[in-house]
Chains A and B, each alone.
Chain A
């Protein structure tokens, strides 16, 4: 019990920094809007990657972003935790609100935003020199959390959540790179979960995985929904229809349609959406 308290203070409160109270608590309720973009555009030099996207992301639900390659899904996703700050020549205009606060406001520290809005990439990215254990708690250890009991607990919880615990519990000190591709991806997910993000962005997390690992990660997302708000980019429309609550269809940098997934896949508003979903193009 004491440990749980310690975790709360160290993991949840400290790294996340200031959070707006009151209004935010209300927003956090099930089904309320957690993030919201307003006329969000991403420019690469003079080219526009994503154009004028206004989209709500609902709390504790899964929002899927679908569309053909190069349509701006990933570009949009990366705008939600200020990953474009690191891309040379990329510029973001418009707003992206997290709990009602614009993450692109001048006074906002992108490091704190990325703490609250985690990300899992298309390819597994274990830190090559670190053990499985150290990979999972990298986000905690490297900001100075040294409490071994706490770290042990986080490792076990995060690896359980990522459905990897049973496979690696006896070799936590082995290098992260010694795992198979699917295991590495689940390790990357565990690492992202270890810092307890409020929103988790997943960029085609299962595209390099076999069907069994894919299934496990989909199950994982369904479980995580109760704690984390998830946005997932996927090429796999069956996946979008299986796991998501809302779906957004992107086409050449525009948001074509955003609707509850059930409606999107049975009776979409837009012809282009229907064409894409039924495989007439894309």
Chain B
């Protein structure tokens, strides 16, 4: 009797959890399907090879595309990762491995503040720090703004990924007469690497979708830069910010291109996750 009831409850609980999972997945599914349906028509060869130009191009059926946006997003996002990953992982190591260090209360406060700060304020920060002194909007300023978005996420996830490694592993390393930094670098970090990678990917996905911090840092650009340095030192187009300006434009053709930009943005994040996962599991197998 009692056993039967427990069994039934177990089934019920499983049913509730499955329903909740499906409920979470439905909106995601709707978003993906809707974006793809709306934007698929604008995805053609020109989309990946031509720059946007003036709205007249789209209206008159001339060559137009978002190659400069796709490339710009890659430049800005990768540069942001380059800035945020070492700093974020460093801060996470500091918080987890040296909890008694004098600087840690300040570091934690800064990190929490940065984490809670609205993204648009991070754009403003990068504007004040980079755009003002440089006198121009730039891809570099956009990368700094996105690095501010990534930094607290990476620091947090790194800290928690390291904290779950049992203390005994650290002691085992120390007992071999290894210095503290060596124990962290060679035993703790490799053990926590899946957690670290997940943190980096989450930070990337989050930052890749941010338009607000880019509006007055990388600003946007309808054309490819005339010189390669323009990717870093001049205004650069990025997908979320381009998506926004396409969407608020009065041109039907641009609306469709905006949806297509959404498809690319979604795919970039998904591809990044897949590559990240594969690279990580691959490195585990390859290591002897």
Which one of A53-61, A123-131, A230-238, A256-264 contacts B? A123-131
Which residues from B are CB-within-8-Å of A139?
176-178
Whole-angstrom distance between the alpha carbons of A114 and B172 in the complex? Answer: 11
Which residues from A are CB-within-8-Å of B104?
none
A88-B99, A88-B100 known; A127+B175 contact, CB < 8 A:
no
Which residues from B are CB-within-8-Å of A130?
187, 190
Query: Is B55 in the interface zone, CB < 8 Å from A?
Result: no
Which one of B130-138, B163-171, B227-235 contacts A? B163-171
A35 CB, nearest partner CB in chain B, Å: 16
Contact assessment for A114 and B191 in the assembled complex, using a CB-CB cutoff below 8 Å = no
Contact of B174 among A114, A128, A131, A143 (CB under 8 A): A114
Contact assessment for A123 and B177 in the assembled complex, using a CB-CB cutoff below 8 Å = no
Chain A 67-91 interface residues, beta-carbon cutoff 8 Å to B: 81, 83, 86, 88
Query: Is B182 in the interface zone, CB < 8 Å from A?
Result: yes
Q: Mark B277-288, 1 if CB is under 8 A from A, else 0.
A: 000000010011
Whole-angstrom distance between the alpha carbons of A127 and B173 in the complex? Answer: 8
Contact assessment for A143 and B182 in the assembled complex, using a CB-CB cutoff below 8 Å = yes
Query: Is B250 in the interface zone, CB < 8 Å from A?
Result: no
Chain A 244-265 interface residues, beta-carbon cutoff 8 Å to B: none
Query: Is A186 in the interface zone, CB < 8 Å from B?
Result: no
Chain B 166-208 interface residues, beta-carbon cutoff 8 Å to A: 166, 168-179, 182, 186-187, 190-191, 193
A88-B99, A125-B169, A129-B190 known; A83+B175 contact, CB < 8 A:
yes
Contact of B177 among A115, A125, A128 (CB under 8 A): A115
Whole-angstrom distance between the alpha carbons of A163 and B187 in the complex? Answer: 25
Whole-angstrom distance between the alpha carbons of A81 and B178 in the complex? Answer: 13
Query: Is A121 in the interface zone, CB < 8 Å from B?
Result: yes
Contact of A142 among B170, B171, B182, B284 (CB under 8 A): B182
Contact of A114 among B170, B176, B186, B187 (CB under 8 A): B176
A125-B172, A143-B182 known; A15+B288 contact, CB < 8 A:
no
A88-B99, A142-B186, A173-B288 known; A188+B178 contact, CB < 8 A:
no
B38 CB, nearest partner CB in chain A, Å: 45
Chain A 138-183 interface residues, beta-carbon cutoff 8 Å to B: 138-139, 142-143, 173
Which residues from A are CB-within-8-Å of B193?
129
B187 CB, nearest partner CB in chain A, Å: 5
Contact assessment for A128 and B171 in the assembled complex, using a CB-CB cutoff below 8 Å = no
Contact assessment for B178 and A192 in the assembled complex, using a CB-CB cutoff below 8 Å = no
Whole-angstrom distance between the alpha carbons of A143 and B186 in the complex? Answer: 11
Please indicate which of the listed interface residues A118, A131, A138, A191 has the most CB atoms of chain B within 10 Å of its own CB.
A138
Chain A 184-205 interface residues, beta-carbon cutoff 8 Å to B: 188, 191-192, 195
B116 CB, nearest partner CB in chain A, Å: 28
Query: Is A112 in the interface zone, CB < 8 Å from B?
Result: yes
Whole-angstrom distance between the alpha carbons of A83 and B172 in the complex? Answer: 10
Whole-angstrom distance between the alpha carbons of A195 and B175 in the complex? Answer: 10
Chain B 83-130 interface residues, beta-carbon cutoff 8 Å to A: 99-100
Query: Is A111 in the interface zone, CB < 8 Å from B?
Result: yes
Whole-angstrom distance between the alpha carbons of A35 and B283 in the complex? Answer: 45
Which residues from A are CB-within-8-Å of B284?
129
A88-B100, A142-B182 known; A111+B177 contact, CB < 8 A:
yes
Report the nearest A residue to B170, measured CB to CB: A86
Query: Is A65 in the interface zone, CB < 8 Å from B?
Result: no
A198 CB, nearest partner CB in chain B, Å: 11
Which residues from B are CB-within-8-Å of A115?
176-177
B65 CB, nearest partner CB in chain A, Å: 45
Query: Is A119 in the interface zone, CB < 8 Å from B?
Result: yes
Contact of B171 among A112, A121, A173, A195 (CB under 8 A): A121
Whole-angstrom distance between the alpha carbons of A111 and B186 in the complex? Answer: 16
Report the nearest A residue to B99, measured CB to CB: A88
Contact assessment for B177 and A195 in the assembled complex, using a CB-CB cutoff below 8 Å = yes
Which residues from B are CB-within-8-Å of A188?
172
- CB-based closest 4 A-B pairs: A115-B177, A139-B176, A119-B175, A125-B172
A selection of 25 A-B contacts at a CB cut-off of 8 Å is: A81-B175, A83-B174, A83-B175, A86-B174, A88-B99, A113-B177, A114-B174, A114-B177, A116-B177, A118-B176, A119-B171, A119-B175, A120-B175, A121-B168, A125-B166, A125-B172, A127-B172, A127-B173, A129-B287, A138-B178, A138-B187, A139-B177, A142-B186, A143-B182, A192-B175
Q: Which residues of A contact B (CB under 8 A)?
A: 15, 81, 83, 86, 88, 111-116, 118-121, 123, 125, 127-131, 138-139, 142-143, 173, 188, 191-192, 195
Other A-B pairs, 20, CB within 8 Å; known A127-B173, A138-B173: A81-B175, A83-B171, A86-B170, A86-B171, A111-B177, A118-B175, A118-B177, A119-B171, A119-B175, A121-B172, A121-B175, A125-B168, A129-B187, A129-B190, A131-B288, A138-B187, A142-B176, A143-B178, A173-B288, A195-B176
Q: Which residues of B contact A (CB under 8 A)?
A: 99-100, 166, 168-179, 182, 186-187, 190-191, 193, 284, 287-288
